[in-house]
Structure 1
Amino acid sequence: MEKNWQIIQPDSSSVERIRRILNCTYATAAVLVNRHIKTESEARNYINFSLNNIRPPFFIKDIDTAVKRITRAVIKHEKILIFGDYDADGITATAILLEFLQYTGADVSFYIPHRTKEGYDLQADHIFGHALANEIDLIITVDCGSSRHEAVDAAQKSGIDVIITDHHTIDNIPPAFAVVNPRRQDCTTGFDHLAGVGVAFALIICLRKHLRSIDFWKKLPEPNLKEYCDLVALGTVADMVPLIHENRILSKIGLDVINKGLRPGLKALVNVSGINENKAVTDDIAFRLAPRLNAAGRIDHANTAVELLTTRNIKRAHEIALSLDHMNKTRQAAEKRILEDILEYIKKNPDVLNKKTLILSHHNWHEGILGIAASKLVERFYRPVILISTKNGIGKGSGRSIPGINIYDSLSVCSSHLQRFGGHPMAAGLQIRENRIKIFANDFDAAVSSVCSPDDFAKTVNIDCELRFDDISHQLIDELESLHPFGEGNPEPLFMAKNIIVSSSRIVGKHHRSMVLRQAGNNSNKPIQAIRFNIDTDSIKTGSLEESYEQIAFRLRWNRWNGKKTIQIVIQEI
């Protein structure tokens, strides 16, 4: 894959101003300016923030209508059904709304469809088969529902109100009682970065305030919403929405709550995931906690994950966490088989890579694993990828894209071939008849080709600044740690250094290389410990090599071990 190294060139006067205001290193000031932090208030708020820095969500379109309808249902003890999605975002959104409404004494239950048996999102069958049978008065969707016109119509005709809370791209608004989706074109409040759980949390903020205005909390202590932020952080990071504005604040505060171990289910999941107690970071959510939560919906049923997040029974929490860990291992094995199948196919049919996109289908692929496998293929081949599992003439697929190519828009161009589809610019799901896959693949590739440029397929490595080993210090790493959390849209700082010499090297684990590095021409000539993860270790020689690299791109972190911390370079590119 072609990669372009690009050193960001921040305005020098802005960098100097931030450096002077914060009394920080040049590198830290450059990182902040690269993230559009240029004033004193912006800099201080970026580093020191609280829930008070969250903008009031009261003006999100339809949120007031939703709040008043839910309040009526709570007070009149109407039957409320929370209908959620089966991924980590939907699971946490379901759990957070369920907990809040249970606390108010509402008559509330939840329903998450089985991924393979029922498929994605609210459907008319759920109205007739579950809501009516259980005499539901109000349905609240979380992380889904924005395109479900048929299901909303069925609910209306059955006398059931529907409130949609979602964050997926929305074109035609369903005729629901309220549609709380910041991506609505008529919603200009600037909350379109929120994940599904973020929208649910915004609803809870507004609901708590409205209940306060009618003296609801006189007989019941008003809940502390900070305690819900662990779930917000979990769903937000897992869904890979931009970690900016409210998302960054809620994720930071949520990580603090996670590290306090207040929720038995999350504490148990942290333990089985091998995360250092009280030291979870966003990477731990993305690569350890979220995959285990998602495994429930992929391998079995997402209800298990909701139970984990809401149980107060420590023994039961441990049992479920172990079960999810086992499901995740099953998921990893299935993913490995799918990727091996695809890589073998590409090896035999290399011409498939002549196109701008990669669309493949197979009847043996587990549809619950396709999204993860597609992400891995995007990393490897850097182009939009759609994988489709076919059964009984119907294909169900998941797609992932690359920056600059909106997969949802390209699917919209080809919608005549699809039975249904939905998603984001970077990820989408679809259903299609098997006999339409070939023509769809051609038209989708044409749609992408019409809006892309050659530069879109060269991955850009954005480097915050060049950094000499002499300038790496304890102060710098402490400052970088103060900029957490990092994630999608707010990447961990990446630096570049030239003329690097490998003094020694050894393989750790199966696929990681630990090294001691020096920089030629460095005044102090000080060695620095480095590690490079997930590489082909068979081609690496170890020992004393005096091997050299023209330049490396790396991140700086503390390596904490046995109560001590040392400077460590984490190499991303060479």
Structure 2
Amino acid sequence: MEKRWVYIPEAPADVVESLTQSLKISPTLAAILCQRGICTYEEAKHFFRPSLTDLHDPFLMKDMNRAVDRLNDALHRNEKIMVYGDYDVDGTTSVALMYGFLRNYTSNIDFYIPDRYKEGYGVSFQGIDYASENGFKLIISLDCGIKSADKVAYAAERGIDFIICDHHLPDEDIPKAVAVLDPKQIDCPYPYKELSGCGVGFKLLQAFCFQNDIDQEEAYKLLDLLVVSIASDIVPITGENRILAYFGLRHLNGPQPMRPGLDALKELAGITSEMDITSIVFGFAPRINAAGRMGDAKNSVRMLLAQTKEEAFKMADIINESNKERRDKDSNITKEALQMIEEDEFLRGANSTVLFKDSWHKGVIGIVASRCIEKYYRPTIILTQSNGKASGSARSVHGFNVHSAIESCSDLLEQFGGHMYAAGLTLPVENIPAFRERFEKIVADTITAEQKIPQIEIDGKIELKQITRNFYNIVRQMEPFGPGNMRPVFVSELVYDTGSVRIVGDSHLKLRLTQDGYHSIDAIGFGLSDYYHKIAKGIPFDVCYTVEENIFRGVITLQLRIKDIRMK
């Protein structure tokens, strides 16, 4: 698939020169820092040397005082407390964080995760009924609740108070809870707006520690759960999130024993190297999510809270089996979906994809939508039947607001929600043809030619001879990488293979590249075997890549991970 190479705008030359001199690094690396808003020595110092003392005062968050006071009251009165969270990674890590901490101060506490299929996303009437029937007086909701004004009112009628810890955009109708902690509220003065749901819960515990003269280290012990949330929920790894992720990874990779549940997950995922954001995203997140997709998300919480290796592996094995089932269904449904497109002339040439099959598993349709975009790069909605309705997940392409497009079809829907790049929707099955037709027209009228081509953001052009161990060591200090602070992507022009190019696996290229015939470096290009014959003939090309370490038989070398190739 063709890709657009989009260069990130360059920073002013005088700012780059100043940073180059003050940090004594190459202009290339100084330019990358400036592109990321790090333009002074002091900013670079905070960036390269994160400190927990740079975390914001939790009491800057609107309603934090009220939240801590209500929590203290519940503990002093020995009221029953329910910790309520969503069924995804952010929700389950949030519940494990909050419940695992508070159970040190009360035994009158339990947690609740809604059933994905019977209750749906967020706070449910069934959950509140369960709380009422079992004598709970306070519910702390995590990663959900900001759009549950009706549920919070329903709970209040039954004598149940709510503390909401959420990070999603609120509606105009803010729930009348005892406290609403969400930095995205318009009138919330909290300086950093991009916390995960687990991050908001962490700030509540941080404030609780301050208020009750508890050592902050007690809260910091939970940063291993928080970094799993930050990585898995794809929130920006900037500002406060970067500090929390940095120390969370140090916790995971430190000398102290890893939390038994995460240790079991690491072993089952086959992770043998140091943990980073990528290994969490691809190793931990799918498995934790699979529990809620295929079965009971409470198993994820039980695993994360496990205090012994035996208990942890018991729950991790269950979750791993759920993930295997998820992969099978994901693979089979993706094949069916792609076949439906390929066999339909209209769908092949359409600007959007809307597919429906009543037997598809609801737990994987969002993943299937993303898989379809890998082949047909356009806004995609995958629908299945659930409780007599068509229920679906939408995914989008860079720069296109799929939520807005769905909103334009709202008269055909029963409900919908989400954001620019991902959304969920429910509609009567009989409305699918009309919805498909209108959604296609809206996309066709509003999507641009550029948005139909996947793009690679490039930090800058360099020569291969610039890639030294010292250069790489400075790049590595920019970790943890993730949204808002991606691993730098470089372009080198007119490179060629030294004669070692070969195909490895089914479709991957292994090369050794040079520009000048003197400085060469190993490279790997996954899924790029189509270029083999031209490269083997010695034809020069431009290459787009990141720099990484490769460990082979104990020997560590630098190599390029190729993202795209342009033949000359």
Scaled to the shorter chain, the TM-score interval is over 0.9
2:207 aligned partner: 206
For each residue in 1:465-485, what CA deviation from the matched residue of structure 2 results, as whole angstroms up to 9, or x when unmatched? 111111110001111110001
2:231 aligned partner: 237
1:296 to 1:367, Cα distance in 2 relative to 1, 3 A: same
Structure 1 residue 560 displacement after superposition:
2.5
Does residue 267 (structure 1) correspond to residue 263 (structure 2)? The answer is yes
Bigger drift between 9-18 and 85-94 goes to 9-18
Structure 1 residue 236 displacement after superposition:
0.9
Structure 1 residue 301 displacement after superposition:
0.9
Does residue 296 (structure 1) correspond to residue 297 (structure 2)? The answer is no
Does residue 255 (structure 1) correspond to residue 246 (structure 2)? The answer is no
- The SS at the match of 1:176 is coil
Q: 2:347 aligns with which of 338, 343, 352?
A: 352
1:135 aligned partner: 135
Unaligned runs of 5+ residues in structure 2 are: none
1:103 aligned partner: 104
2:523 aligned partner: 530
1:441 to 1:82, Cα distance in 2 relative to 1, 3 A: farther
Does residue 420 (structure 1) correspond to residue 411 (structure 2)? The answer is no
Counterparts of 1:362-401 in structure 2, within 5 Å, are 362-401=357-396
1:224 to 1:69, Cα distance in 2 relative to 1, 3 A: same
The separation in 1 between residues aligned to 2:216 and 2:105, in whole angstroms, is 9
The separation in 1 between residues aligned to 2:297 and 2:93, in whole angstroms, is 11
1:246 aligned partner: 240
1:179 aligned partner: 180
- The SS at the match of 1:529 is strand
1:222 to 1:33, Cα distance in 2 relative to 1, 3 A: closer
2:272 aligned partner: 276
2:509 aligned partner: 513
In the alignment, is the contact (CA less than 8 A) between 1:367 and 1:389 conserved in 2? yes
Letter matched to residue 183 of structure 1: K
The separation in 1 between residues aligned to 2:16 and 2:223, in whole angstroms, is 33
1:450 to 1:267, Cα distance in 2 relative to 1, 3 A: same
Does residue 553 (structure 1) correspond to residue 557 (structure 2)? The answer is no
In the alignment, is the contact (CA less than 8 A) between 2:338 and 2:372 conserved in 1? no
1:149 to 1:391, Cα distance in 2 relative to 1, 3 A: same
1:353 to 1:20, Cα distance in 2 relative to 1, 3 A: farther
1:2 to 1:273, Cα distance in 2 relative to 1, 3 A: same
In the alignment, is the contact (CA less than 8 A) between 1:122 and 1:151 conserved in 2? yes
In the alignment, is the contact (CA less than 8 A) between 1:80 and 1:109 conserved in 2? yes
The separation in 1 between residues aligned to 2:396 and 2:513, in whole angstroms, is 36
The separation in 2 between residues aligned to 1:156 and 1:182, in whole angstroms, is 24
2:155 aligned partner: 155
Does residue 119 (structure 1) correspond to residue 115 (structure 2)? The answer is no
Structure 1 residue 46 displacement after superposition:
0.9
In the alignment, is the contact (CA less than 8 A) between 2:231 and 2:277 conserved in 1? yes
2:64 aligned partner: 63
The separation in 2 between residues aligned to 1:265 and 1:392, in whole angstroms, is 34
- The SS at the match of 1:132 is helix
2:77 aligned partner: 76
Bigger drift between 497-506 and 289-298 goes to 497-506
The separation in 1 between residues aligned to 2:354 and 2:265, in whole angstroms, is 35
Letter matched to residue 135 of structure 2: E
The separation in 1 between residues aligned to 2:467 and 2:538, in whole angstroms, is 22
In the alignment, is the contact (CA less than 8 A) between 1:113 and 1:121 conserved in 2? yes
Bigger drift between 322-331 and 155-164 goes to 322-331
The separation in 1 between residues aligned to 2:154 and 2:47, in whole angstroms, is 46
Structure 1 residue 547 displacement after superposition:
4.0
The separation in 1 between residues aligned to 2:174 and 2:563, in whole angstroms, is 43
Structure 1 residue 326 displacement after superposition:
2.4
In the alignment, is the contact (CA less than 8 A) between 2:194 and 2:241 conserved in 1? yes
1:4 aligned partner: 4
1:108 to 1:319, Cα distance in 2 relative to 1, 3 A: same
Q: 1:432 aligns with which of 427, 432, 445?
A: 427
- The SS at the match of 1:499 is strand
In the alignment, is the contact (CA less than 8 A) between 2:56 and 2:191 conserved in 1? no
For each residue in 1:22-55, what CA deviation from the matched residue of structure 2 results, as whole angstroms up to 9, or x when unmatched? 2122222121111121111111111111211222
Letter matched to residue 199 of structure 2: G
2:307 aligned partner: 312
In the alignment, is the contact (CA less than 8 A) between 1:236 and 1:251 conserved in 2? yes
1:461 to 1:544, Cα distance in 2 relative to 1, 3 A: closer
- The SS at the match of 1:363 is coil
- The SS at the match of 2:536 is coil
For each residue in 1:493-523, what CA deviation from the matched residue of structure 2 results, as whole angstroms up to 9, or x when unmatched? 000011121222334344433222222xx1x
The separation in 2 between residues aligned to 1:352 and 1:543, in whole angstroms, is 33
The separation in 2 between residues aligned to 1:222 and 1:187, in whole angstroms, is 24
Structure 1 residue 343 displacement after superposition:
0.9
For each residue in 1:366-421, what CA deviation from the matched residue of structure 2 results, as whole angstroms up to 9, or x when unmatched? 11111212222233333322211114531222222233233334334433333333
Letter matched to residue 505 of structure 1: V
2:326 aligned partner: 331
The separation in 2 between residues aligned to 1:438 and 1:98, in whole angstroms, is 45
The separation in 2 between residues aligned to 1:449 and 1:164, in whole angstroms, is 39
Letter matched to residue 206 of structure 2: I
The separation in 2 between residues aligned to 1:450 and 1:164, in whole angstroms, is 39
In the alignment, is the contact (CA less than 8 A) between 1:152 and 1:175 conserved in 2? yes
The separation in 2 between residues aligned to 1:235 and 1:562, in whole angstroms, is 33
Provide the aligned C-alpha RMSD in A.
2.2
Counterparts of 1:437-516 in structure 2, within 5 Å, are 437-448=432-443, 452-502=447-497, 503-516=499-512
Bigger drift between 102-111 and 300-309 goes to 102-111
Structure 1 residue 59 displacement after superposition:
1.9
In the alignment, is the contact (CA less than 8 A) between 2:342 and 2:348 conserved in 1? no
Q: TM-score, normalised by structure 1?
A: 0.92
Structure 1 residue 449 displacement after superposition:
5.4
In the alignment, is the contact (CA less than 8 A) between 2:196 and 2:230 conserved in 1? yes
In the alignment, is the contact (CA less than 8 A) between 1:168 and 1:422 conserved in 2? no
Aligned length: 560
Structure 1 residue 318 displacement after superposition:
1.9
1:150 to 1:355, Cα distance in 2 relative to 1, 3 A: farther
Q: 2:405 aligns with which of 406, 410, 423?
A: 410
Q: TM-score, normalised by structure 2?
A: 0.93
The separation in 2 between residues aligned to 1:362 and 1:506, in whole angstroms, is 42
For each residue in 1:297-318, what CA deviation from the matched residue of structure 2 results, as whole angstroms up to 9, or x when unmatched? 1111111111111111111212
The separation in 2 between residues aligned to 1:536 and 1:472, in whole angstroms, is 22
Q: 2:555 aligns with which of 543, 564, 568?
A: 564
The separation in 2 between residues aligned to 1:414 and 1:192, in whole angstroms, is 30
The separation in 2 between residues aligned to 1:199 and 1:321, in whole angstroms, is 26
The separation in 2 between residues aligned to 1:64 and 1:437, in whole angstroms, is 48
The separation in 2 between residues aligned to 1:423 and 1:46, in whole angstroms, is 32
The separation in 2 between residues aligned to 1:312 and 1:245, in whole angstroms, is 32
> Identity over aligned residues, as a percent?
34
Bigger drift between 408-417 and 227-236 goes to 408-417
Structure 1 residue 101 displacement after superposition:
0.9
1:18 aligned partner: 19
For each residue in 1:301-347, what CA deviation from the matched residue of structure 2 results, as whole angstroms up to 9, or x when unmatched? 11111111111111121222233222222211111111111111111
